[in-house]
Amino acid sequence: MPEHRAEGVQGFTARRGFLKVLGGSAALALLSGCFDEFRALGFKPTVEKHTPFITPNDDFYLVAVDPAYRPAFQLQDIGQHWSLELQGRSGATGHIGYDDLNARARHTVLYTFECIGNPVGGPLIGNARWRVVPLKEMLARAPGGIGTARSVMFEALDGFYSSVSIERALDDYAFLALQMNGTPLPPGHGFPVRAILPDLYGMKQPRWLKRIRLLEESATTSYWEKRGWAGEVPVKTMSRFDPRRHAKATQPLALTGVAFGGRRGIRSVEVSLDDGANWIPCQLVTGTQPGVWSLWRYVWNTPVPGRHSLRVRATDTTGALQIARYQDSFPDGASGYDQLVLDLSA
């Protein structure tokens, strides 16, 4: 895994399942957020859309317990309304203000977030540049230091909470992010501060942080784990096609998409033009970086008219092939190969 450098950019390294564990207003709020994003980004639309390597802030997926939540304060008055509370193992507390945190944010990292509710081929994933502070630097500032802590709890302004093991919190690639693609975090994406915790789904990386607590118990939990979702499970390797439905068979056809393997990174991507009977290697346009998605491309030089069922799959850098068996997102993330049904006209 590459070392991070000050002032540089490094490679860092919702659907039926929700209804099984949610009820009432909580289910409606989350599902509303998911479907708003599906409408905004377009889930399998009929127009062609190539995924950019860096997801613009306005296009980045947004799923939350309350999708409408935004902090009541803004950057210009944050000093009057917010500071990050650091609570030590004894319960003693300290605080660090936004300006102090921002001054310590000397690293920029690439990092891809994916929602655990992202279905096969879904749009609930995005990649951005984040201006960050190493999390372990902040944990060391908690009263009493890190000491014998065995887990870390993150609490958010919207009432969300999630804890992770001390090993993950002290990872060299665990951060507190203050900027997204060169600007302060947008209100919907965690302003003033959000967590980046390597190799986890978005549900374990809270936004809108207000408090971080060092705990001596090893068991971890979160808002969603209390409702049946998995905990510190690594993201599953995924791949998908960029949206496309129609094309002409009279010229070469470029197929594009993304693949993501979490911290493992992507070694290769393959497409099938015959519903999985045969597989053809693709080009990794952006190479591979741990914790960052890879864009892929394949040029079909001799397409033929008719309806075609295409599939895509990825292999991570450990040599493990993406899981072929279809599984919905509940409880630990979706699996299966994305399918693109393409009509080619003469």
- Range with the lowest mean pLDDT among 1-5, 75-79, 199-203? 1-5
CB 310, CB 262: distance < 8 Å: no
For residue 192, list its beta bridge partners.
Answer: none
Q: Is 65 left (phi over 0), alpha (psi -120 to 50) or beta?
A: alpha
| Continuous segment of H or E residues that includes residue 129 | strand 125-134
Q: How many helices (H) and strands (E) does the chain have?
A: 6, 20
DSSP assignment string, 265-328: -EEEEEEESSTTSS-EE-EETT--BTTB-EEEEEEESS--SEEEEEEEEEEETTSPBPP-S-B-
Q: What is the pTM of this model?
A: 0.87
Which whole-number Å values give the CA distances from 107 to 129, 192, 291, in the listed order? 10, 17, 16
Alpha carbon 29 to chain centroid distance? Answer: 20
Q: What is the pLDDT of residue 245?
A: 79
323 has pLDDT over 70: yes
117 has pLDDT over 90: yes
CA–CA separation, 126 and 57 (whole Å): 9
Which whole-number Å values give the CA distances from 292 to 12, 153, 186, 206, in the listed order? 6, 25, 21, 19
pLDDT tens profile 226-250: 999 999 999 999 999 999 878 888 8
Q: What is the pLDDT of residue 246?
A: 83
CB 87, CB 212: distance < 8 Å: yes
CB 305, CB 333: distance < 8 Å: no
* Domain range annotation of the chain: 9-227, 238-345
Give residues with Cβ within 8 angstroms of 54, minimum separation 6: 127, 128, 129, 181
Burial class (CB in 10 A: 0-12, 13-18, 19+), 77: exposed
334 has pLDDT over 70: yes
- φ and ψ at 315, to 5 degrees? -120, 135
CATH class of the domain whose range is 238-345: mainly beta
Higher pLDDT, 9 or 330: 330
36 has pLDDT over 70: no
**Residue 7 per-residue DSSP state:** T
Among all chains, which residue has been given the structure tokens 């960029």? 242
DSSP assignment string, 98-123: HHHHHHH--EEEEEEEE-TTPPTT-S
pLDDT confidence bin for 9, thresholds 50/70/90: very low
| Continuous segment of H or E residues that includes residue 34 | helix 24-37
Q: Is 115 left (phi over 0), alpha (psi -120 to 50) or beta?
A: beta
Q: Is 110 left (phi over 0), alpha (psi -120 to 50) or beta?
A: beta
CA–CA separation, 287 and 56 (whole Å): 20
Which whole-number Å values give the CA distances from 128 to 179, 182, 183, 275, 318, in the listed order? 10, 10, 11, 32, 24
CATH of domain 9-227: 3.90.420.10
Q: Is 131 helix (H, G, I), strand (E, B) or coil?
A: strand
